[in-house]
Amino acid sequence: MRSGSGMRHKFVVGHHRIARNTWRSPIMKLAAALRQWNPNQPDIAALEPARLGLTADSDAEVLAQSLHNFATRLDAFVERERNFTRDASHELRSPLTIIKVATEVLVDDESLSTFARRSLTRIQRSVREMEALIESFLILARESDTGLPEEDFLANDVVREQVERFRDLIEDKPIELKLEERARFALHAPPRVFAVVIGNLIRNACLYTERGVICVIVEEACVSVSDTGCGMDAEDLERAFQPFYRGSRTGDQGHGIGLAIVRRIADRFDWPVELDSTRGHGTVARVRLPAAMPVDKALPQIG
């Protein structure tokens, strides 16, 4: 019995020694560093072999150096993308402002023909669409760069503003754009980010609806935008959130990037986005807000 007990004790001690040595192994050190590495705020130096105490020319050192090089290239790529998005957006603002002012002056010219006035209306609509797109790009660039200030705000106010903002997109179409506020709730987030998400969904509905009704509904912890537009088939639904994908929907509508922006922002803030659509019968886009708060709790002064 003593002999068996001694054998078990040696086995347990040996097992713990192996486990401890394994934990201290170079590969485990590297694995621990990768688990703690945050891609949203990458610390490239954390993957340096010397910082991890890895022996030169070891397999772990070679692997760590490869990961460090990859992380460095990835960080440089993200920085270039962010700078391009921000700089291009700023550069586009000036010519758009000139076009916008010029069209506003031309609108007052009573000598314009019906055709010219119709063309002018189309130019104005395109300018407003581009302004919304640029605003979205700036939001994405700033959010990934320095972050945006978060605050408590009434979601209903933002939704109401976005409905009015895009109402002129359907002014020459037989469409009713209506808002139903079945609930009120507050969010703690950057208000401009929420506005971009809701605005892009409303804009998308306006662009792909020729007649009927577009209904924006505020419910408990959820905002939905339904339309009676052309709708989407199964393939369109599967690829709807891909940048620049316009699928089988026809016409000169949009740039195919609105839903991609919505998905990118929604994923960042954990706001699940759902699409339900039938070809020829319209689409329902729904944003769920799990972190929604009662108004009287978040904003007692207006609750």
Residue 163 has pLDDT above 90, yes or no: yes
pLDDT, average across residues 286-302: 91
Which of 19-23, 73-77, 99-103, 113-117 has the lowest average pLDDT? 19-23
Q: How confident is the model at residue 246 (pLDDT cuts 50, 70, 90)?
A: low
Percentage with pLDDT > 70 across the chain: 76
pLDDT (tens digit per residue) in 178-219: 999 999 999 999 888 899 899 989 988 998 899 999 999 999
Which of 137-141, 202-206, 228-232, 235-239 has the lowest average pLDDT? 137-141
Q: How confident is the model at residue 147 (pLDDT cuts 50, 70, 90)?
A: low
Residue 12 has pLDDT above 80, yes or no: no
pLDDT, average across residues 233-255: 68
pLDDT, average across residues 116-124: 85
Greatest mean pLDDT among 82-96, 236-250, 277-291 lies in: 277-291
Q: Which residue has the higher pLDDT, 202 or 56?
A: 202
Phi, psi of 96 (to 5 degrees): -65, -40
pLDDT, average across residues 4-28: 52
pLDDT, average across residues 231-260: 71
pLDDT, average across residues 47-70: 72
From CA 266, how far away is CA 187, in angstroms rounded?
Answer: 14
Exposure b/e, 138-159, CB count within 10 A at least 16 = b: bbbbbbbeeeeeeeebbbbebb
pTM: 0.65
Q: Which residue has the higher pLDDT, 77 or 3?
A: 77
Residue 3 has pLDDT above 90, yes or no: no
Average pLDDT score over the chain:
79
